[in-house]
Copies of this chain bind each other. A is one copy, B any other.
């Protein structure tokens, strides 16, 4: 069961400048940064609020590490903006299977590694009214600090 908006994934050309925009404009601070070579992204997680399922909601700022990554190709086509949205669940495997059985294309056979040790999968945007949708099970759902 999906119990929270886990994050909003935002693609940007320059991660450092975008992080600085969110800090200077709204006071949002970086909670975590990492490079995910499999996804081809360098990313920063900005924790916005806690959620009543014991998790949290983040902005995930994404800069491609290579032009042929999914985010790199998306940026070249669309420019900066919201790349995907992610719902948090305690059981990404079960929820991905349930969604697949309803006819929605799930992009990975089994979940892969996402931010902060999470396990993630994506649903095809053409099956989701144009929204690239991620399902995520956090390694530490209530993470309040590093």
Task: Contact check, B131 vs A10: say whether CB atoms are below 8 A apart.
Answer: yes
- Chain A: residues with Cβ within 8 Å of the partner, total of 37
Task: Contact check, A81 vs B125: say whether CB atoms are below 8 A apart.
Answer: yes
Looking at chain A's contact residues, is the secondary structure mostly helix, strand, loop, or mixed? mixed
Check A12 for interface membership: any CB of B closer than 8 A: yes
Known: A49-B5, A57-B57. A129 touches B80 (CB 8 A): yes
Residue of chain B at shortest CB distance from A104: B25
- In the assembly, what is the distance between CA of A81 and CA of B104, in Å? 16
- In the assembly, what is the distance between CA of A87 and CA of B10, in Å? 15
A1 to chain B, nearest CB (A): 7
Task: Contact check, A102 vs B24: say whether CB atoms are below 8 A apart.
Answer: yes
Check A45 for interface membership: any CB of B closer than 8 A: no
Check A21 for interface membership: any CB of B closer than 8 A: yes
- The chain A residues found within 8 Å of chain B, CB to CB, are 1-5, 8, 10, 12, 18, 21, 24-28, 48-53, 57, 59, 79-82, 85, 87, 99, 102, 104, 125, 128-131
Other than the given A3-B48, A21-B129, A82-B131, 4 more pairs (CB < 8 A) read: A5-B59, A26-B99, A48-B87, A50-B51
